[in-house]
Amino acid sequence: MYVFKLVITFLIMMTMAHANLDKNQKYWLSTYEVQKNPRFPMKEIIKSPKGTYQNILSLFYYDSNQVLRKDCLIYYVPSEEKPGELKIISLNKFEKCEENFFTATKRTYQNIFNFTYELKDKELTLFVDEKEYQFTLEGMDNKSPLFLSLIESHSGTKLSEGDLCYDVDDQCQVIKKDTCHLCPGKITQVVASGCQNDFRKYCLSKPCGKKQAPACIRGFKATGVKEKYCFVGSPVGFCRKPNRVYCENSELICR
């Protein structure tokens, strides 16, 4: 009788652990991009490296406020001491999944022994033990009615050439949400703050490095420059000869 109760308790725990996985459907419906970890091929049960957390998938989507977000599917590979665990964490689209394994999770699913996935067209399937969970990623088809309605609601009108579409401050905090998908053509980045890994963006078809255009970005780490980047000849940016890097209104430009 005691063994029977243990089995029943285990089955209930397994059912509860997976019960809410389907609820992610409403969040992922607007997913427009999925990044796969090449270390883990589709439809192959993930068995190693045991006892480690691995980022399997990154899903980029619009949340209920039409803000661009990223969900990371983090999987703890089962070991002799502990069964598998699937965590879904929600981040800013520019944050790295690998640096946030222990960030507060959106959802956690425990007691998993076999896990893999398949992505075909705009259909994502998660294989969790004996169950399959399917998600339709409408945003993968950028002509779908859902995707177009999200684009329209995200901003009333299309942006124009030269418009600012994204910006961050010196602490890398977003001060203008990303609307660059509304640009009529190409997007150009420009160094305009002390943030070392994210940059201001314009709807701009003119290539960087040319006269009256943003300086091409060489970067902070590559040059050893810290926060004070804004000066004539700053190595953080570079221009095509005979132009030279100048700093105007905090932006590195070519003159």
Residues 145-156, mean pLDDT to the nearest whole number: 50
pLDDT of residue 84: 96
**Which tens digit of pLDDT belongs to each residue from 173-189?**
989 888 887 888 888 99
Residue 220 neighbours by CB under 8 Å, 6+ apart: 196, 226, 229, 236
Phi-psi domain of 105 (left: phi exceeds 0; alpha: psi -120 through 50; beta: other):
beta
**Which tens digit of pLDDT belongs to each residue from 73-85?**
999 999 999 999 9
Residue 114 neighbours by CB under 8 Å, 6+ apart: 45, 84, 127, 128, 129
Question: pTM for the full model?
Answer: 0.52
- What's the one-letter identity of residue 125? T
pLDDT of residue 4: 41
CB neighbour burial string for 135-151, b if at least 16 within 10 angstroms, e if fewer: bbbbbbeeebeebeebb
pLDDT-derived band at 147 (thresholds 50, 70, 90) equals low
